[in-house]
Each structure stands twice: as C-alpha cells, then as structure tokens.
Amino acid sequence: MKIIDVKCAVIGSNPVVRIKTDEGIDGYGQAEAYKPYLKPFVLFYKDALLGQDPTNVERVMNRIRNMASFKPWGSAVSSIEMALWDIAGKAAGVPVYKLLGGKVRDRVRVYNGAVRFKLSDYTPDGFADIMQKMKDSPERFSIIKQGIAFHGGMMERFPDFFYGDFNQGYRYPNRGLLTEKGFKHILECIEAMKAVLGDEVGLALDCGPGWTVPDAMRLAKAVESMHIAWLEDMITGDYTPYVLADVYRDITHSTTTPIHTGEQIYLRQNFRELIETHAVNIIGPDPADMGGIAELKWVAEYADLHGIMMAPHGTGDGLLGLAALVQVCAALPGNYIAFEYPTGDPAWWYDIVDGLPNPIVKDSYIEVWDRPGMGVNLIPDKAAAYLTDDDKDFFD
C-alpha cells in the first residue's frame, strides 16, 4: 500500500487531514478548532509522505517528526499521525486500539471541558450558576473543569486583580503577582463552585498560565481541604513553547493538591523532565499537539512507571479527534483518569460524521466501539456542503 495524496481542508474551524492510498483506503485526522490556519503546515509534509506505506506508521513518522515543534507545527504532525493509524486499522480490519496493544477498558471516562454555558459575570454567583448548569448536563460528567484567574476574563473584569497592566494581547499574555483582593476573589469563586458540586462531581481548575510561584503555592495550599481534582497550567501552558519543570516541581512538592500541565507539549522528550523529577502529579497531553496517539500512549506508560497520572487534553479536537481519544484511552494503563470531552462545533458536525453512538456520553463514560480504524468517518456527500471553494476537491 502506498500514499498517493495528502489533502487538508478546513471544515467549520477544524483542519481535517485526508490521506489517500493506492488501495482505496483513506485515513482522516483532525486538528483543533483553534487552528484554522493549519492547512499549509500540513501540506508542508506532503512530499515526505507520498509513496510511503501508511501502515508502517512509525517509519513514516520518522520522516516528519523531527521537522516539527511546539504548536502549531506539532499539530500538523499529530493530525497526520492519526490519519495514518486510521488507515492502518482499516487495512487490518481492526479498531486502532488493537494496534496500540489492545483494550484495557471497555469504556473510557471523560470530563467536561467543552460543554459550556455563558458566564453571566465573574462573581461567585456567576460561577455557581454555570456550575449548576454543567452539573445538570445530560452527560452527567463526573469531573468538570472551569477556567479561573488568568485563564478567562476574570482579570479583565475584576478591578485591581493583579500587580500589572492588563494586556489585551493574543493567547494568554498576562502574568504577575495577585493582589490580596484578587486572590480572595478567586477563592470565593472556587468555594461557590464547590458548594454546587459537593462531593458528587469533581472540580478541576484551569488556572493560567500566568501565576507567580508564591501565588501558585498559596492557592494550592488554600484549596487542599476542598479535594480539587487538579490545578492546571499555572506556570506554563496553552501556547507556551517551554516546560519549566523545575518551577512546577517547587509548587507540586509544596502541596497535596494535584498539579497538572502538558497540553502544549510536543513529543516524549519534552515530558521527560516533568515525569522523572515528579514535577507534576498529572499530565494532560493533547494527541492533536503532542505528536499523535502512539506518542500519547508512550508518555502515559512512562508516567505510570513514575506514579504520575494521565488526563489527556482534547477540548478543541472535534469529533474525529474524539474518536482518536476513545481509541487510545481504551489502551492506556491504570494511571488514566479521564480525557477532556470535545464536541462538534458548529452543531452540523454531528450530521456529517458516521459511527458515533447516540448519546455519545452516558454517566460520564463512552463505550469503546469496535469498528475498523478510528471507527468514525466523514460522510462525503454531507460534508461537501461545508467545504470552502478552495477545498472543493477534498473528497476527489
């Protein structure tokens, strides 16, 4: 089997990769909805892929993996990797999880990062209100993640939140020491959310990046009695192209509150120090950024050796990304907690894919399906209606 073409189309906001073969088997991969600009990054690798056997996934990845880095280049490589596994599974007639070592669990737990409601205001009452709505969501999530502090609009809407000038720039540009008033406001909002969730639903907090080390330590110590699931990306995260494991280690070793990071990190090498020095308690790589699903499984296994837990990121990965997460998380070791549930956005995405269960999530779990490949495919006749003029030949 040989690769004869590599295509990329932006469908909605999600870049979608299609790899064609000379045996008529296609594979699909999907990048985050936050990266509609990714098409030329994907096509940069086309010449390195043509003529290769896509079922030799690792050999093909060795041709392109070193020509990438943290976002966005790693996102392009990751989407290609998932399309290769889709082909490999279809060619073998088995679900991808069987190619990754086999099923460890029959259903995978998910947590809520994408089923969202509009926050009326950044007060304790506002946070309590949206937490109640998410708790009542039909998916019955067992963990709900909420952005606070530097992750979201709190710093902009709460006067004198931190000692610094608010920067309206792109992709989390603010950082600094919190004022006492700002710190107390964060705690009051957390307490309000916990009052709604009680011990029925876990609360995870997406905090930054942007915190100073003293403030991060203060918050982690202050919420120890609340049994917070984790504090995420306090120091680095999202579009930060470095890790700072030594800084995270200082925070993690000062508290019993679980500390989490990893969604922005590309490749196992950049997780090594976080894992080996026990710099965090939980890592959350995104298969659409870290190099793909096989890379995620390798890192999960290595983290498990060191007693570090795994809660993969995925909020923007779309429905094809959801399928990839289901397949890989079915094969992860016992340090797996849950992955961040992505949704189809816009809602018409649910009309253009085939293979998803209905409902997808029951009581915070997704049953692992057994169809070949990723088990979810685009429906060309329906998806074609949403292609731009530049991408009209995507299904040719």
Question: DSSP string covering 246-307, please?
Answer: HHHHHHHTT-SS-EEE-TT--SGGGTHHHHHTT--SEE---TTTTT-HHHHHHHHHHHHHTT
Domains detected in the chain: 3-95+379-391 (3.30.390.10), 98-373 (3.20.20.120)
* 45 pLDDT higher than 80: yes
115-129, 154-168, 179-193, 287-301: segment of lowest average pLDDT: 154-168
Higher pLDDT, 244 or 152: 244
Task: Please name the amino acid found at residue 196.
Answer: V
Which of 323, 318, 260, 312 is closest to 290 using CA atoms? 312
pLDDT band at 235 (very low <50, low <70, confident <90, very high): very high
pLDDT at 249 over 90: yes
pLDDT of residue 20: 98
Q: Give me 29's structure tokens.
A: 């991969």
- The mean pLDDT value for 5-30 works out to 98
Residue 228 confidence class, pLDDT cut points 50, 70, 90: very high
Mean of pLDDT values over 211-216 = 98
CA distance 159 to 175: 15
- Taking each helix axis from N to C end, the angle separating 73-92 and 318-330, rounded to the nearest 10 degrees, works out to 70
pLDDT of 169 higher than 80: no
Task: Say yes or no to pLDDT of 120 above 80.
Answer: yes
- Residue 171: per-residue pLDDT: 83
Confidence of residue 310 (pLDDT cuts 50, 70, 90): very high
pLDDT tens column, 58-87: 999 999 999 999 999 999 999 999 999 999
How many whole angstroms separate alpha carbon 277 and alpha carbon 321?
30
Burial class (CB in 10 A: 0-12, 13-18, 19+), 268: middle
% of residues, the chain, pLDDT over 90: 96
Give the pLDDT band of residue 172 (cuts 50, 70, 90): confident
Which pLDDT score, from 0 to 100, does residue 165 have? Answer: 87
Average pLDDT, whole number, for the chain?
A: 97
* Separation of alpha carbons 316 and 12, rounded Å: 12
231 has a pLDDT exceeding 90? yes
pLDDT at 146 over 80: yes
Among residues 301, 345, 297, which one has the least CA distance to residue 325? 297
